[in-house]
Amino acid sequence: MPIMNGMQLLKNINKTFPEIPFVLMTGHGTVKTAVEAMKLGAKDYILKPLRLDEIVAKIERLLQMRSLIKENEYLLDKLQEKYDFTNMIGKTDKIRNLFNLVKDVAGTNTTILIQGDSGTGKELIANALHYNSQRAKRSFIKINCGVLAENLLESELFGHVRGAFTGAIRDKVGRFELANGGSLFLDEIGDISLNMQLKLLRVLQEGEFERVGGTETIKVDVRIISATNKNLEKAMKEGSFRQDLYYRLNVIPIYVPPLRERREDIKFLIQHFVDKFGKIYGKLIKNIDPQAMKILESYDYPGNIRELENLIERIIVLNKNNEISITDLPDSILNGSDSFSSEDLNFDEGLQNLVEKFERRAIQKALKMNNNNKVKTAKMLAINRSTFMSKLKKYSIN
Protein backbone atom coordinates (compact mmCIF):
# COMPACT_ATOMS: atom_id res chain seq x y z
CA MET A 1 0.00 0.00 0.00
CA PRO A 2 1.30 3.44 -0.89
CA ILE A 3 1.52 6.44 1.47
CA MET A 4 0.46 4.63 4.65
CA ASN A 5 0.28 1.11 5.96
CA GLY A 6 -2.90 -0.76 6.90
CA MET A 7 -2.73 0.20 10.54
CA GLN A 8 -2.50 3.90 9.75
CA LEU A 9 -5.36 3.60 7.30
CA LEU A 10 -7.44 1.90 9.98
CA LYS A 11 -6.77 4.75 12.42
CA ASN A 12 -7.70 7.37 9.85
CA ILE A 13 -10.87 5.63 8.74
CA ASN A 14 -11.92 5.12 12.34
CA LYS A 15 -11.57 8.81 12.90
CA THR A 16 -13.41 9.98 9.78
CA PHE A 17 -15.93 7.23 9.13
CA PRO A 18 -16.44 5.40 12.43
CA GLU A 19 -19.55 3.65 11.15
CA ILE A 20 -17.68 1.81 8.39
CA PRO A 21 -16.66 -1.67 9.52
CA PHE A 22 -12.99 -2.26 8.82
CA VAL A 23 -11.51 -5.64 7.93
CA LEU A 24 -7.76 -5.90 7.91
CA MET A 25 -6.01 -8.20 5.48
CA THR A 26 -2.58 -8.95 6.70
CA GLY A 27 0.11 -10.35 4.52
CA HIS A 28 2.51 -11.31 7.19
CA GLY A 29 0.34 -13.99 8.62
CA THR A 30 1.01 -12.79 12.08
CA VAL A 31 -1.89 -13.06 14.44
CA LYS A 32 -0.23 -10.36 16.52
CA THR A 33 -0.88 -7.66 13.90
CA ALA A 34 -4.46 -8.89 13.61
CA VAL A 35 -5.02 -8.66 17.36
CA GLU A 36 -3.54 -5.18 17.38
CA ALA A 37 -5.88 -4.15 14.56
CA MET A 38 -8.90 -5.48 16.43
CA LYS A 39 -7.82 -3.49 19.46
CA LEU A 40 -7.74 -0.38 17.29
CA GLY A 41 -11.31 -1.04 16.20
CA ALA A 42 -11.09 -3.35 13.17
CA LYS A 43 -14.15 -5.56 13.08
CA ASP A 44 -12.38 -8.58 11.63
CA TYR A 45 -9.21 -9.72 9.86
CA ILE A 46 -8.28 -11.95 6.97
CA LEU A 47 -5.00 -13.69 6.54
CA LYS A 48 -3.31 -13.98 3.19
CA PRO A 49 -3.61 -15.85 0.91
CA LEU A 50 -6.98 -14.32 0.14
CA ARG A 51 -9.95 -16.64 -0.35
CA LEU A 52 -12.89 -15.03 -2.05
CA ASP A 53 -15.59 -17.09 -0.32
CA GLU A 54 -14.09 -16.21 3.04
CA ILE A 55 -14.19 -12.51 2.33
CA VAL A 56 -17.78 -12.74 1.07
CA ALA A 57 -18.85 -14.56 4.22
CA LYS A 58 -17.16 -12.00 6.43
CA ILE A 59 -18.69 -9.05 4.60
CA GLU A 60 -22.12 -10.62 4.82
CA ARG A 61 -21.74 -11.08 8.53
CA LEU A 62 -20.64 -7.48 8.97
CA LEU A 63 -23.54 -6.16 6.91
CA GLN A 64 -25.91 -8.19 9.02
CA MET A 65 -24.39 -6.80 12.17
CA ARG A 66 -24.65 -3.31 10.78
CA SER A 67 -28.31 -3.64 9.96
CA LEU A 68 -28.94 -4.96 13.47
CA ILE A 69 -27.15 -1.96 14.93
CA LYS A 70 -29.12 0.38 12.67
CA GLU A 71 -32.35 -1.33 13.60
CA ASN A 72 -31.48 -1.05 17.26
CA GLU A 73 -30.70 2.65 16.90
CA TYR A 74 -33.95 3.15 15.07
CA LEU A 75 -35.97 1.38 17.76
CA LEU A 76 -34.23 3.33 20.48
CA ASP A 77 -34.93 6.58 18.64
CA LYS A 78 -38.58 5.61 18.42
CA LEU A 79 -38.68 4.86 22.13
CA GLN A 80 -36.99 8.12 22.99
CA GLU A 81 -39.42 9.95 20.74
CA LYS A 82 -42.34 8.17 22.36
CA TYR A 83 -41.22 9.19 25.81
CA ASP A 84 -40.22 12.66 24.81
CA PHE A 85 -41.89 15.33 26.92
CA THR A 86 -43.72 16.68 23.89
CA ASN A 87 -45.84 13.53 23.95
CA MET A 88 -46.77 13.98 27.56
CA ILE A 89 -49.90 16.04 27.64
CA GLY A 90 -50.78 18.52 30.35
CA LYS A 91 -50.95 22.26 30.71
CA THR A 92 -52.09 22.76 34.30
CA ASP A 93 -49.54 24.04 36.80
CA LYS A 94 -49.71 20.78 38.68
CA ILE A 95 -48.64 18.74 35.68
CA ARG A 96 -46.12 21.29 34.34
CA ASN A 97 -44.40 21.26 37.74
CA LEU A 98 -44.41 17.50 37.66
CA PHE A 99 -42.87 17.36 34.16
CA ASN A 100 -40.23 19.86 35.22
CA LEU A 101 -39.35 17.75 38.22
CA VAL A 102 -39.14 14.68 35.98
CA LYS A 103 -36.83 16.55 33.60
CA ASP A 104 -34.63 17.70 36.45
CA VAL A 105 -34.20 14.32 38.07
CA ALA A 106 -34.10 12.14 34.94
CA GLY A 107 -30.41 12.85 34.39
CA THR A 108 -29.42 12.06 37.95
CA ASN A 109 -28.85 8.55 39.17
CA THR A 110 -31.18 8.82 42.13
CA THR A 111 -33.74 6.29 43.21
CA ILE A 112 -37.25 7.47 42.53
CA LEU A 113 -40.62 6.47 43.91
CA ILE A 114 -43.68 7.40 41.87
CA GLN A 115 -46.99 7.48 43.72
CA GLY A 116 -50.45 8.13 42.36
CA ASP A 117 -53.86 6.63 41.70
CA SER A 118 -54.26 3.97 39.09
CA GLY A 119 -54.18 5.15 35.50
CA THR A 120 -52.61 8.53 36.27
CA GLY A 121 -49.46 7.98 34.19
CA LYS A 122 -46.95 6.47 36.60
CA GLU A 123 -45.47 4.08 34.06
CA LEU A 124 -45.29 6.78 31.43
CA ILE A 125 -43.25 8.87 33.85
CA ALA A 126 -40.99 5.94 34.69
CA ASN A 127 -40.30 5.55 30.96
CA ALA A 128 -39.65 9.25 30.57
CA LEU A 129 -37.19 9.08 33.46
CA HIS A 130 -35.22 6.28 31.88
CA TYR A 131 -35.28 7.42 28.26
CA ASN A 132 -34.19 10.92 29.23
CA SER A 133 -31.31 9.72 31.40
CA GLN A 134 -27.69 8.88 30.62
CA ARG A 135 -28.76 5.26 30.86
CA ALA A 136 -31.18 5.66 27.95
CA LYS A 137 -29.11 3.46 25.65
CA ARG A 138 -28.89 0.68 28.22
CA SER A 139 -31.72 -1.62 29.16
CA PHE A 140 -34.90 -0.56 30.87
CA ILE A 141 -36.27 -3.62 32.62
CA LYS A 142 -39.73 -3.70 34.14
CA ILE A 143 -41.37 -6.01 36.58
CA ASN A 144 -44.85 -5.94 38.04
CA CYS A 145 -44.31 -7.03 41.62
CA GLY A 146 -48.02 -7.22 42.29
CA VAL A 147 -48.84 -10.19 40.08
CA LEU A 148 -46.16 -12.71 41.05
CA ALA A 149 -46.17 -15.10 43.98
CA GLU A 150 -43.33 -14.46 46.39
CA ASN A 151 -41.00 -17.27 45.30
CA LEU A 152 -41.54 -16.48 41.62
CA LEU A 153 -40.89 -12.81 42.22
CA GLU A 154 -37.66 -13.64 43.99
CA SER A 155 -36.33 -15.73 41.13
CA GLU A 156 -37.53 -13.18 38.58
CA LEU A 157 -35.67 -10.41 40.37
CA PHE A 158 -32.51 -12.20 41.37
CA GLY A 159 -32.41 -15.18 39.02
CA HIS A 160 -31.73 -18.73 40.16
CA VAL A 161 -29.23 -21.50 39.66
CA ARG A 162 -30.04 -24.85 38.18
CA GLY A 163 -31.62 -27.16 40.73
CA ALA A 164 -32.46 -24.38 43.19
CA PHE A 165 -36.02 -25.70 43.31
CA THR A 166 -38.12 -28.19 41.42
CA GLY A 167 -38.57 -26.86 37.94
CA ALA A 168 -35.31 -24.90 37.95
CA ILE A 169 -33.88 -26.91 35.08
CA ARG A 170 -31.32 -24.33 34.05
CA ASP A 171 -29.65 -21.20 35.39
CA LYS A 172 -31.76 -18.11 35.04
CA VAL A 173 -30.58 -14.53 34.90
CA GLY A 174 -32.73 -12.22 37.03
CA ARG A 175 -34.05 -8.77 36.18
CA PHE A 176 -31.45 -7.06 38.36
CA GLU A 177 -28.70 -8.55 36.23
CA LEU A 178 -30.54 -7.79 33.00
CA ALA A 179 -30.86 -4.18 34.07
CA ASN A 180 -27.16 -3.83 34.87
CA GLY A 181 -25.97 -0.45 33.62
CA GLY A 182 -29.56 0.59 32.99
CA SER A 183 -32.70 1.04 35.04
CA LEU A 184 -35.13 -1.31 36.74
CA PHE A 185 -38.79 -0.40 37.15
CA LEU A 186 -40.41 -2.05 40.14
CA ASP A 187 -44.10 -1.56 39.50
CA GLU A 188 -46.70 -2.06 42.24
CA ILE A 189 -43.97 -2.07 44.86
CA GLY A 190 -46.60 -1.63 47.57
CA ASP A 191 -47.72 -5.20 47.00
CA ILE A 192 -44.60 -7.09 48.02
CA SER A 193 -44.32 -9.16 51.17
CA LEU A 194 -42.24 -8.13 54.17
CA ASN A 195 -39.85 -10.94 53.40
CA MET A 196 -39.23 -9.67 49.85
CA GLN A 197 -38.94 -6.14 51.20
CA LEU A 198 -36.01 -7.25 53.32
CA LYS A 199 -34.30 -8.86 50.32
CA LEU A 200 -34.79 -5.75 48.22
CA LEU A 201 -33.42 -3.60 50.97
CA ARG A 202 -30.14 -5.46 50.85
CA VAL A 203 -29.70 -4.92 47.09
CA LEU A 204 -30.53 -1.27 47.48
CA GLN A 205 -28.07 -0.85 50.32
CA GLU A 206 -25.21 -2.92 49.03
CA GLY A 207 -25.84 -3.21 45.31
CA GLU A 208 -25.31 -6.96 45.55
CA PHE A 209 -27.24 -10.20 45.87
CA GLU A 210 -27.08 -13.91 45.14
CA ARG A 211 -29.19 -15.84 42.69
CA VAL A 212 -31.74 -18.10 44.36
CA GLY A 213 -29.82 -21.23 45.37
CA GLY A 214 -26.53 -19.64 44.34
CA THR A 215 -23.44 -18.82 46.34
CA GLU A 216 -21.73 -16.32 44.08
CA THR A 217 -22.36 -12.70 45.07
CA ILE A 218 -23.35 -10.61 42.11
CA LYS A 219 -22.75 -6.87 41.98
CA VAL A 220 -24.85 -4.65 39.77
CA ASP A 221 -25.16 -0.99 38.90
CA VAL A 222 -28.88 -0.40 38.49
CA ARG A 223 -31.04 2.66 38.86
CA ILE A 224 -34.26 1.84 40.68
CA ILE A 225 -37.52 3.49 39.78
CA SER A 226 -40.54 2.16 41.62
CA ALA A 227 -44.24 2.93 41.54
CA THR A 228 -47.34 2.20 43.54
CA ASN A 229 -50.95 3.28 43.84
CA LYS A 230 -50.95 2.29 47.50
CA ASN A 231 -50.41 4.81 50.24
CA LEU A 232 -47.03 3.64 51.51
CA GLU A 233 -46.93 6.08 54.42
CA LYS A 234 -50.09 4.49 55.69
CA ALA A 235 -48.80 0.96 55.01
CA MET A 236 -45.69 1.88 56.96
CA LYS A 237 -47.72 3.03 59.95
CA GLU A 238 -49.73 -0.17 59.79
CA GLY A 239 -46.52 -2.18 59.70
CA SER A 240 -47.02 -3.76 56.29
CA PHE A 241 -44.24 -1.77 54.64
CA ARG A 242 -40.73 -1.46 56.02
CA GLN A 243 -39.73 2.03 56.97
CA ASP A 244 -36.07 1.57 56.00
CA LEU A 245 -37.03 0.31 52.54
CA TYR A 246 -39.47 3.18 52.11
CA TYR A 247 -36.77 5.75 52.71
CA ARG A 248 -34.35 3.92 50.39
CA LEU A 249 -36.90 3.88 47.58
CA ASN A 250 -38.24 7.34 48.18
CA VAL A 251 -35.08 9.39 47.70
CA ILE A 252 -36.99 11.53 45.21
CA PRO A 253 -40.75 11.26 45.60
CA ILE A 254 -42.90 11.96 42.57
CA TYR A 255 -46.63 12.29 43.08
CA VAL A 256 -48.86 12.07 40.02
CA PRO A 257 -52.13 13.89 40.65
CA PRO A 258 -55.41 12.28 39.60
CA LEU A 259 -57.31 13.78 36.70
CA ARG A 260 -59.90 15.30 39.01
CA GLU A 261 -57.19 17.58 40.37
CA ARG A 262 -56.28 18.75 36.88
CA ARG A 263 -59.58 18.88 35.04
CA GLU A 264 -58.27 21.59 32.72
CA ASP A 265 -56.07 18.95 31.08
CA ILE A 266 -59.01 16.79 30.06
CA LYS A 267 -59.72 18.67 26.86
CA PHE A 268 -56.08 18.51 25.74
CA LEU A 269 -55.93 14.81 26.51
CA ILE A 270 -59.15 14.22 24.55
CA GLN A 271 -57.68 16.00 21.53
CA HIS A 272 -54.43 14.08 21.91
CA PHE A 273 -56.16 10.69 22.00
CA VAL A 274 -58.55 11.61 19.18
CA ASP A 275 -55.49 12.36 17.02
CA LYS A 276 -53.63 9.28 18.21
CA PHE A 277 -56.43 6.79 17.61
CA GLY A 278 -57.55 8.61 14.49
CA LYS A 279 -54.14 7.81 13.03
CA ILE A 280 -54.09 4.25 14.30
CA TYR A 281 -57.57 3.39 12.98
CA GLY A 282 -57.34 5.58 9.89
CA LYS A 283 -60.24 7.81 10.89
CA LEU A 284 -60.10 11.51 10.42
CA ILE A 285 -62.26 13.22 13.03
CA LYS A 286 -63.08 16.66 11.66
CA ASN A 287 -65.28 17.88 14.45
CA ILE A 288 -66.17 17.23 18.06
CA ASP A 289 -69.63 18.56 18.81
CA PRO A 290 -69.23 21.22 21.56
CA GLN A 291 -71.94 19.64 23.67
CA ALA A 292 -70.33 16.21 23.41
CA MET A 293 -67.02 17.82 24.34
CA LYS A 294 -68.69 19.43 27.35
CA ILE A 295 -70.02 16.09 28.54
CA LEU A 296 -66.64 14.44 28.01
CA GLU A 297 -64.98 17.23 29.93
CA SER A 298 -67.35 17.08 32.86
CA TYR A 299 -67.16 13.35 33.44
CA ASP A 300 -65.23 12.24 36.52
CA TYR A 301 -62.83 9.61 35.15
CA PRO A 302 -62.28 7.56 38.31
CA GLY A 303 -59.88 5.44 36.22
CA ASN A 304 -57.98 8.58 35.25
CA ILE A 305 -56.08 8.90 31.97
CA ARG A 306 -56.28 5.19 31.21
CA GLU A 307 -60.09 5.37 31.39
CA LEU A 308 -60.14 8.49 29.24
CA GLU A 309 -57.82 6.88 26.70
CA ASN A 310 -59.90 3.69 26.49
CA LEU A 311 -63.07 5.73 26.13
CA ILE A 312 -61.72 7.74 23.21
CA GLU A 313 -60.32 4.62 21.55
CA ARG A 314 -63.74 3.01 21.76
CA ILE A 315 -65.45 6.09 20.34
CA ILE A 316 -62.99 6.29 17.45
CA VAL A 317 -63.22 2.59 16.62
CA LEU A 318 -67.00 2.79 16.39
CA ASN A 319 -67.04 6.14 14.63
CA LYS A 320 -68.56 6.32 11.16
CA ASN A 321 -69.07 9.95 10.21
CA ASN A 322 -65.82 11.78 11.00
CA GLU A 323 -67.53 13.59 13.80
CA ILE A 324 -68.00 12.94 17.50
CA SER A 325 -71.47 13.85 18.67
CA ILE A 326 -73.50 13.07 21.77
CA THR A 327 -74.91 9.92 20.24
CA ASP A 328 -71.36 8.54 20.00
CA LEU A 329 -70.88 8.73 23.76
CA PRO A 330 -71.49 5.57 25.78
CA ASP A 331 -74.31 5.58 28.34
CA SER A 332 -71.90 5.41 31.25
CA ILE A 333 -70.61 8.84 30.29
CA LEU A 334 -74.01 10.28 29.46
CA ASN A 335 -75.35 9.15 32.81
CA GLY A 336 -72.45 10.96 34.33
CA SER A 337 -71.26 10.79 37.83
CA ASP A 338 -73.08 11.27 41.07
CA SER A 339 -70.68 13.35 42.95
CA PHE A 340 -70.41 17.08 43.11
CA SER A 341 -67.17 18.57 44.27
CA SER A 342 -65.58 21.97 44.45
CA GLU A 343 -63.11 20.72 41.84
CA ASP A 344 -65.95 21.06 39.33
CA LEU A 345 -66.20 24.77 39.92
CA ASN A 346 -64.11 26.01 37.06
CA PHE A 347 -65.08 29.64 36.91
CA ASP A 348 -63.53 30.13 33.48
CA GLU A 349 -66.53 28.31 32.11
CA GLY A 350 -68.83 31.14 33.19
CA LEU A 351 -71.85 30.92 35.42
CA GLN A 352 -74.26 29.88 32.68
CA ASN A 353 -72.20 26.79 31.80
CA LEU A 354 -71.60 25.92 35.41
CA VAL A 355 -75.27 26.10 36.23
CA GLU A 356 -76.14 23.97 33.21
CA LYS A 357 -73.53 21.41 34.12
CA PHE A 358 -74.92 21.13 37.62
CA GLU A 359 -78.49 21.09 36.41
CA ARG A 360 -77.68 18.24 34.09
CA ARG A 361 -76.05 16.25 36.83
CA ALA A 362 -78.77 16.99 39.34
CA ILE A 363 -81.36 15.65 36.91
CA GLN A 364 -79.30 12.54 36.22
CA LYS A 365 -78.87 11.85 39.88
CA ALA A 366 -82.54 12.38 40.60
CA LEU A 367 -83.47 10.05 37.75
CA LYS A 368 -81.18 7.40 39.14
CA MET A 369 -82.69 7.76 42.60
CA ASN A 370 -86.13 7.25 41.11
CA ASN A 371 -85.16 4.31 38.93
CA ASN A 372 -85.62 6.42 35.80
CA ASN A 373 -89.28 7.07 36.59
CA LYS A 374 -89.84 10.49 35.00
CA VAL A 375 -93.06 11.36 36.77
CA LYS A 376 -91.54 10.68 40.18
CA THR A 377 -88.35 12.52 39.28
CA ALA A 378 -90.17 15.64 38.14
CA LYS A 379 -92.13 15.56 41.36
CA MET A 380 -89.02 15.20 43.44
CA LEU A 381 -87.44 18.14 41.65
CA ALA A 382 -90.64 20.13 42.05
CA ILE A 383 -90.98 21.07 38.38
CA ASN A 384 -93.86 20.34 36.04
CA ARG A 385 -93.69 17.51 33.59
CA SER A 386 -93.30 19.52 30.40
CA THR A 387 -90.46 21.64 31.80
CA PHE A 388 -88.82 18.42 32.93
CA MET A 389 -89.20 16.82 29.47
CA SER A 390 -87.72 19.87 27.75
CA LYS A 391 -84.74 19.75 30.09
CA LEU A 392 -84.20 16.07 29.30
CA LYS A 393 -84.15 17.01 25.65
CA LYS A 394 -81.84 19.96 26.19
CA TYR A 395 -79.31 17.77 28.00
CA SER A 396 -79.75 14.74 25.77
CA ILE A 397 -80.75 12.56 28.67
CA ASN A 398 -82.80 9.58 27.64
Residues in contact with ligand ATP by CB under 6 A are 88-90, 116, 118-124, 229, 272, 305-306, 309
- Cβ neighbours of residue 140 under 8 Å, at least 6 residues apart? 127, 130, 131, 179, 182, 183, 185
Residue 177 binding target from ligand ATP, Mg ion, none, CB below 5 to 8 Å by type: none
Work out whether strand 172-173 and strand 183-187 pair parallel, antiparallel, or are unpaired.
unpaired
Segment near Mg ion (CB under 5 A); pick from 91-99, 122-130, 155-163, 274-282 = 122-130
To ligand ATP, the closest distance from the beta carbon of 114 in angstroms equals: 8
- Cβ neighbours of residue 109 under 8 Å, at least 6 residues apart? 133, 223
Cβ atoms 84, 136 nearer than 8 A: no
Which amino acid is it at 64?
Q
To ligand ATP, the closest distance from the beta carbon of 82 in angstroms equals: 9
To ligand ATP, the closest distance from the beta carbon of 253 in angstroms equals: 15
Instruction: Tell whether residue 123 is a contact of Mg ion (CB under 5 A).
Output: yes
Cβ atoms 396, 334 nearer than 8 A: yes
Which residue number is nearest to Mg ion in terms of Cβ?
123
Rounded Cα gap, residues 356 and 352, in angstroms: 6
Cis before residue 49, ω within 30 degrees of 0?
yes
**SS3 (DSSP) at 110:** coil
**SS3 (DSSP) at 133:** coil
Beta partners for 60? none
Cβ atoms 338, 298 nearer than 8 A: no
Residue 359 binding target from Mg ion, ligand ATP, none, CB below 5 to 8 Å by type: none
Residue 174 binding target from ligand ATP, Mg ion, none, CB below 5 to 8 Å by type: none
Instruction: Tell whether residue 307 is a contact of Mg ion (CB under 5 A).
Output: no
Instruction: For ligand ATP, give the closer residue by CB, 37 or 270.
Output: 270
Segment near Mg ion (CB under 5 A); pick from 3-11, 33-41, 115-123, 258-266 = 115-123
Instruction: For Mg ion, give the closer residue by CB, 125 or 311.
Output: 125
Instruction: For Mg ion, give the closer residue by CB, 123 or 210.
Output: 123
To ligand ATP, the closest distance from the beta carbon of 229 in angstroms equals: 5
**What residues line the site for Mg ion (CB under 5 A)?**
123
